[in-house]
Amino acid sequence: MREDEARDRAERAVEIAMAAGASDAEARIVVARRFSAQARGERITKLDVSDGRSLSMRLFLGGRKATLTGTHWSDEEIRSGVTSALEQARYIGVDAIAGLPDSCALPDLDLDLYDTAVEKRTDEARLEDARCLERSIRASDPRIDNSNGSNYQDACVTMALANSRGLLGSYRGTQLAISTSPVASEGAYKRTAHYGNASRFLSRLDAPERVAREAVRRTVVFCGATKPPTQSTAILFDREVAAAVLDDLFAACNAANVAVGNSWLADRIGERIGSELLDIVDDGTIPGALGSSPFDAEGVPSQRTTVFERGVLRSFLFDTYYARRLGARSTGNASGGGVGPNTFFLAPGKRTPEELIAATTRGILVLETIGFATEHASGLYSRGARGIAIRDGELAESIEEFTIAAPFPEILAGIDAVANDLIFDGSMASPSFRVAEMQVSGSPSAP
């Protein structure tokens, strides 16, 4: 389906809903071709190719809301679904702030989101990337004798959105990703790690050989790993782990959590929370970024929002509903019925990760975290971890089976170095950064 056809169908769905008695209506159409393959050994073990389309609608009767989803969208099918949804809406309680965003003009943005090279790829070329990734991990190190799968995925997506307040917009986007999980044998023990890369553009996607080398490096480094002693020490978060830390922080910046008291940042706008190195932005307008789009799921134009500025909390992130509830304005972060990130990232510093290691007398480079144990209301962060000890500015032995923990305010205030290795390869992005001190729980320390 062409982009103009998707717009026309979304607009027609809104017309049908209004004629059926809705006080407001919104229609969202997504048309996508998706390809996913997994290789193990020389065999393709999973393959999924789909050409899908979906229609989702939000219908309002005053302050009552109903939703409608489906894959069939003839006028008759839409009319039948709308009639049923509106009838159900009459039994839903009134929410005075529920509704569409105020009308606004969509900006004319060229965000460079679509790569024609993706749609032109042959299926054989796609499968070969998965096989090449699998071959490369096994050829990189003799200890790699298995894998949990080497994966290739891509998608070509067209999205159109219309509502009864005059909004009509659409865009196309492509996405590609490759990832692998090598398994290394060490006597009776098995070691594994996961690594991947994603992009909107085929030419910017890391080659399978490069992804394989990094995945293998992250796997075999833990051969012979030991459990470190319990201690307080500097923690250097690798950029992949740092992005996961930001994911936990995003939950506290999410207005939906703030509104219900499930955020340790509630009522702290304008306060200094972190160090002066803490500059965090959510930006939906970065050209070519995976998190970019001209507008959010409600049609609010994407924007750049400063969340932390030199450690000071400047803004939460809002969709229309929670902006109204908290007396604010939407920041263009509506996503899938809630609040989500565009590209939420920590601004990079000037030094390389290697320079941060060299400047660390004693600490741990954390390469992987395990588990989910962040208390969003209290801000207590705790994770199982694996990494490499740092002594006198050099990487030492690999370590595992330890826990790092600290209140989030202490983590943010303790950031004393930020690297320059920021890569926009997802909706969460961060350079490596160092926290001056965190509690490490491992083996009991010697008396």
Cα separation values, 386 from 151, 194, 248, 418, 436, Å: 24, 13, 18, 20, 18
Q: What does the angle CA 442 – CA 445 – CA 447 come to, to the nearest 5 degrees?
A: 165
Q: What is the pLDDT of residue 187?
A: 83
Long-range contacts of 213-219 (CB under 8 A, 24+ apart): 213/136, 213/140, 215/137, 215/179, 215/180, 215/181, 215/182, 216/137, 216/140, 216/141, 216/144, 216/182, 216/184, 218/193, 218/194, 218/367, 218/368, 219/144, 219/182, 219/183, 219/184, 219/191, 219/192, 219/193
Helical segments of 254-339, H only: 255-259, 320-325
How far apart CA 98 and CA 95 sit, in angstroms, is 6
Q: What is the pLDDT of residue 189?
A: 85
Helical segments of 43-182, H only: 75-89, 116-120, 123-140
**Kind plus residue range of the DSSP H or E element containing 242:** helix 239-253
Q: CA 443: distance to chain centroid?
A: 34
Q: What is the pLDDT of residue 107?
A: 82
Q: What is the pLDDT of residue 446?
A: 47
Q: Given the structure tokens 């929670």, which residue do they identify?
A: 322
pLDDT in tens, the chain (447 residues): 889 999 999 999 999 999 999 999 999 999 999 999 999 988 999 999 999 999 999 999 989 999 999 998 899 999 999 999 999 999 999 999 999 999 778 888 889 999 999 999 999 999 999 999 999 999 999 999 999 999 999 999 999 999 999 999 999 999 999 999 999 998 888 999 999 999 999 999 999 999 999 999 999 999 999 999 999 999 999 999 999 999 999 999 999 999 999 999 999 999 999 999 999 999 999 999 999 999 999 999 999 999 999 999 999 999 999 999 999 999 999 998 799 999 999 999 999 999 999 999 999 999 999 987 688 899 999 999 999 999 999 999 999 999 999 999 999 999 999 999 999 999 999 999 999 999 999 988 644
* Other Cβ atoms closer than 10 A to 300: 24
**Kind plus residue range of the DSSP H or E element containing 197:** strand 195-199
**What are 91's two structure tokens?**
């039994």
Q: What is the pLDDT of residue 445?
A: 63
Domains, in order of start, for the chain: 3-220 (3.30.2290.10), 225-447 (no CATH)
Maximum separation of any 2 CA atoms in the chain, in Å: 78
